[in-house]
Amino acid sequence: MYSSSFFSTPLFLSFLACMLAPMAVLGANSNHFTEYIGALFRGVKFSDVPINSSVEFHYILSFAIDYSVATTPPAPTNGEFGVFWDTENLSPDAVSAIKQNYSNVKVAVSLGGATVNGYNVYFNATSVESWVSNAVSSLTTMIQQYNLDGIDIDYESFSNENDTDTFTECIGQLIKTLKDNGVISFSSIAPFANPTVQSMYQALWAKYSSIIDYVNFQFYAYGADTTVDQYVQYYDEQVSNYPGGNVLASFMTENTAGVISADTGFSACQELTSENKLYGIFIWCADASLSQGFTYEIQSQALLAS
C-alpha cells in the first residue's frame, strides 16, 4: 500500500502519463488516407491521384483473386491468387515509380472482392493447410514482383457461411506468415454491416487482431438515406465491434444507387474530426474519381493533414 502523498510524486505522475498515453492515441485523429485503385479498368494511374505529402498514403490494388476464369462460371483455386486489376496502367514499374517519387506512399493488394467476370467471389478453402500454403506461395511471388507492402482482406461471400474457424485460420495464418517472412509490413480487413460478413471478420479479429493494422470498414454500404449523425453512430458501433482497431471512415465516389453519398461521407469525416476520433479515411475508388478531378481525395487529405 502507498500513502496518499505518493500519488502526487513525480514518479507516480510519470507512471500515470505512460499508462494514459496509449489510451489517448486510440480514437484520436490520424493522417492516414487509403485509396482503392484498378478494379474498374478506366485507365487511372497512380500519378493521376493528387498526393498530399502530409498524410500517410496507401494505395490498394483491386483485386487479387483465387479464381480461374478459364471456365464459365469462374472456378475457385484454393488460395492460388492471380492478378485481376488494370496491370496496363498499374504495373510493377508504376508501383516502384510512385513509391520512389513519394516517400509517404505504400502500396498493398486487396484479396477477394465481390465479383469476378460478373459472378460472386466466394471464400472457398479445401483445407486450412492447403489454402494457406497456396496463398503464401502465390502472394509472395506477386508481392515481390510488384514491390508491394501489404495485403487487404475483402472477401464478401463465403462457401460455408457457418464456418468462421476456417476463414479465421486461413486469413490469420496467411497474414502472420507473410509478416513473419518479411514479405509485408501491414494488413487490413474490409468488412461491412452484413451479419455473415461481420461474423467472419469479428471471429478473425478476436484471434488475430494483433497482426491486423487497419479496419477499412465499408460504411458506404449503409442506406442512401443515412444522415451524418447516423454515420457517426455507425462509426462508433464499429469501433466497438473491432476493439482497439484503427477503424477508417469511408465513402465511395462511384455513382452507385442505394449507398451513402460522398457528400454525406465526407461531412461525417469532418464531424468525426471535430470529435477527435477519425483515425483515417478510405475512398472507393480512384477509377471513379478520375473523371471527377479527385475532388474528394484532395479534400479528404487536406482534412487529415490539418
Positions marked catalytic: 156
Q: How far is CA 158 from the centre of its chain?
A: 19
Rounded Cα–Cα distance for residues 240 and 233 (Å):
11
- Between CA 242 and CA 247, with CA 245 as vertex, the angle to 5 degrees is 90
Residues 6+ apart with CB under 8 A from 149: 106, 107, 108, 184, 185, 186
**Which position has the grid cell 483515417?**
280
Q: What is the DSSP letter of 219?
A: G
Torsion of CA 39, 40, 44, 45, to 10 degrees: 10
Task: Give 207: exposed, middle or buried? Use CB within 10 Å, 0-12, 13-18, 19+.
Answer: middle
- Is 191 in contact with 217 (CB distance < 8 Å)? yes
- Is 102 in contact with 53 (CB distance < 8 Å)? yes
